[in-house]
Structure formats: C-alpha cells, structure tokens
Structure 1
C-alpha cells in the first residue's frame, strides 16, 4: 500500500521549494488518501506553537497565514497546472487556525474544533460550496476553507459558551 500520491501533477512540485513545502502542508498533502485531513492534522503543531500568543497576536498571525496562503496556493496550483489540487492543503492549515481562535488549551476542545472544521470543509454548506465552485486562483483555494473555519469557530464558541 502506497501512503503517498503518485499523481503526475504533484511530481511537478518539490518539497525543497519553500512555497511548495508550505502549499503541501509540510508534505502532509502528499497522502494518497484524505490529504485534506492530513493537512488539517499538520496544522495542529502550528496551532500548538501559536497557542502561547495573546489572542490578538494569534488572530494577526492567522490573518497573515491566510493572506500569504493566497500566494502560496496560487503559485503551487500554477506550477502543477491544476486549480485546487487535493495535495494543496495550506488552506486547511489556515482554516483550522481560524477554527481554533480563543479555544481553551484542552485536547477535547481542540478535537471538537478539528471535527467541526473537517465537517464543514467536507460537507461544504452554502456559501462554502458556491465559493469553492465560483472563485478561482489562490483566493478561491483559500476562501472556502477560511469560511469553513469561520463556521466552525462560531459553532465551537457557541458550544464553549454553554459549557
């Protein structure tokens, strides 16, 4: 069983290239099955590193990750010759960081946030599905996951409020 994708488009990228390395979620996007889930898992160490920041700084870094992600994802997609290829998972990193804004540092809440983000990213309720289908380029790759992250953030904060 091969754990890594053999897609010829992915072979156009190199983990030695810092843009490609980030776009592929530190290599996690190369998973043959469920690269989005592996990309979201790769976001967890990033979250843990950023969790020590004040909330305002965490939000600022998340915005920077998202804005820079537009370029990163666009460049990788152009280099591959495929818009929003499954191996490009930097959008999942930004989406999970968005989801986990101001979440208590307890594994249960991080797990709930992870599950909520994967749910919204996979199911793609309106307007996420519309954005995914209608918006192109790096912004298009990023925006549906950012909105999924915002949906997840709102749901998680509501649950936290009542618990």
Structure 2
C-alpha cells in the first residue's frame, strides 16, 4: 500500500475537509497539464491513476478493514482531472490562462465547484455507485462519474453563456 499515493501527498490527512483539500490540490495540477500538454494527456493520466488507485485502495482496505476512508483522496484527483479533460478540454499558454474570453479559467473553476457538488451530494447514479460498489472500484467510480458529469455540465453552461452573449450582442 502506498499511503503517500492514495492520500495524494498526504493532503488527505487534513483535519478539515480532506476531500476538498485533495480536489484543490488536483485543480492546479490538472490545469498545468492542460497548459503544457493537452486534454488527451490529462484524460490518460487520470485513467492510469484510477487503475493504479483501485489496486492500491484494495490493498489498503484488505489490510485496514476500512472501506472508503476519508483520508483517501486520490479519487478526488481522478474525478477532477476527468472533469478538466472534458471542460475546458483545451490547452492554452500560461499567459492566456487568465483571459476570460477563452473560457479556460471559468470552466476550470466551474468544473471544480460542480465536481465538489456532485461528489458531496451524490445524486442519482453517483450515490448508487458510492453505496453499492465495493473495494477500490467503489471508492473511485463515484468520483469518476461525478467528474464526467461536472465536466459535461461545465461545458454546457459555458456554451450556453456564449450563445446568450451572441444573442445579446
């Protein structure tokens, strides 16, 4: 078991809101991958980390007997990175990151907020996965689905905003 890995550099040991702390750490890391590489790289990195995390979480649960320990936050990284690979799903230069016209920063922050909402409230299939799936798959699956839902909704909101701007202008 790799405690450093599954707690995302020990950020899961935060006494308050370890999931939010893990997601906050994941957001700029994912944004940097989008800036210096692309959405496909971020998606594949999230997929690889998810596969490794399932194995490592299974080892931890077998050893400790604890399912979905709050200190495990590698699932937040995977979910956040999947959200970012969907929206903003674009690479921008470091200097262009704060340009609100391209939507990179807005969609990244919106993906963060929506991911945390879906991860905490666990609506629909996200909650069902959280309750019924066992082991590492159970820990990871709800966050992966929450990430995709957050990314898709973020992209739809951004596109809707652009359409409203076109109508107004």
TM-score (norm 1): 0.82
Structure 2 CA distance for aligned equivalents of residues 160 and 152 of structure 1:
12
Determine helix, strand or coil for the equivalent of 1:85: coil
2:48 to 54, 57, 64: 64
Which residue of 153, 156, 161 maps to 2:154?
Answer: 156
Could you say what the CA RMSD is over the residues aligned between the two structures, in angstroms?
A: 1.6
Unaligned residue ranges in structure 2 (runs of 5+): 91-96, 98-103, 163-169
What is the rounded CA distance, in whole Å, between the counterparts of 2:17 and 2:143 in structure 1? Answer: 15
Q: Deviations over 1:117-156 (max 9, x none)?
A: 0000001011111111111011111000001111101101
- Aligned counterpart, 2:100: none
Q: Structure 1 residue 85: deviation in Å? A: 0.6
Question: For the residues of structure 1 that align with 2:58 and 2:32, how far apart are their CA atoms?
Answer: 26
- Name the CA distance, whole Å, in 1 between partners of 2:134 and 2:65: 13
Counterparts of 2:56 and 2:25, CA distance in 1: 16
Distance 2:32 2:53 in 1: 18
> 1:59: how far off?
1.8
Retained in 2: the 8 A contact 1:26–1:42? no
Cα offsets for 1:5-50 (capped at 9, x unmatched): xxxxxxxxxxxx7x21010111111111211101111212421332
Please name the residue that 1:3 is paired with.
none
Q: Choose from 6, 10, 22 the match for 1:27.
A: 10
Structure 1: 5+ residue stretches without partners: 1-16
State the Cα distance separating 1:55 from its structure 2 match: 2.4
Residue 56 of structure 1: how far off its partner (Å): 2.2
Which moved further from structure 2: 98-107 or 33-42?
Answer: 98-107
The equivalent of 1:111 in structure 2 is 109
Offset, 1:57: 2.3
Which structure is higher in helix share?
2
Q: Which residue of 2 aligns with 1:12?
A: none
Q: Normalising by structure 2, what TM-score? A: 0.79
